[in-house]
Amino acid sequence: MLGLIRNPSYAGVYVFGRYQYRQRITPQGEVHKRVQPVPKEDWRVHLPDHHEGYITPEEFERNQARLALNRTNGEGTVLSGAAREGLALLQGMLICGCCGRALTMRYQGNGGIYPLYLCNARRREGLATTDCMSVRSDLLDNAIGEAVLAALRPAELELAVTALHELEQRDHAIMRQWHMRIERAEYEVALAERRYQEC
């Protein structure tokens, strides 16, 4: 599915040379082949408006930009990606204060129900013997949650007052409609009574 979204032919563009085979020979004499993407300016063939596309080229470029922002392992996109799933409030939104890498989650305890914010990037790369940092998520999440609610309280109050005014205006409009209906019914009753008297 991702290959379909990234294929320019769906935007009416014919291209050739998007990927290139690279071969590498290991010290043991084994040949390893891998496919490597080629930068757009180095594509061998690029024919815009070659055929009718399913989407416009502008939509295609917007989709590519959105896909690039959703990456979690690219330079400059450490925290710009999509929100991650999990029990923690700030998952995918924190950076290590020591090494500048994105914090990951580790679930500990009975069945993995206790989340922990963790940075072990330098230890994984063999640059350190211990993790940069680890923080229990409940402590940090509770503090952040309280700060967010404290910041939102004035806005909540303003929203509540605005909603109350709207409800009052709606009640006044409904009451006015009922009064008009009652006046019309009284008029029709009086008219019917006059006609009856005339008969």
**Which residues, in sequence order, are bridge partners of residue 24?**
32
Mean pLDDT across 4-13: 84
Chain-centre distance for alpha carbon 93: 12
Residue 69, C-beta contacts closer than 8 angstroms, at least 6 positions apart: 77, 80, 81
Please give the structure tokens belonging to residue 173: 């409009």
Three-class SS state of 174: helix
pLDDT given for residue 116 in this prediction: 85
pLDDT tens, position by position, 33-85: 888 888 888 888 888 888 888 888 899 889 888 887 776 555 555 555 555 56
Three-class SS state of 191: helix
Query: What is the residue whose two structure tokens read 């082949």?
Result: 33
Mean pLDDT across 188-195: 91
Single-letter amino acid code for the residue at 100: G
Candidates 115, 113, 72, 129; CA nearest to 95 is: 72
Torsion angle of C-alpha atoms 44, 73, 60, 21, degrees rounded to 10 = 20
Whole-structure pTM value: 0.41
By the 8 A CB rule, do 94 and 102 touch?
yes
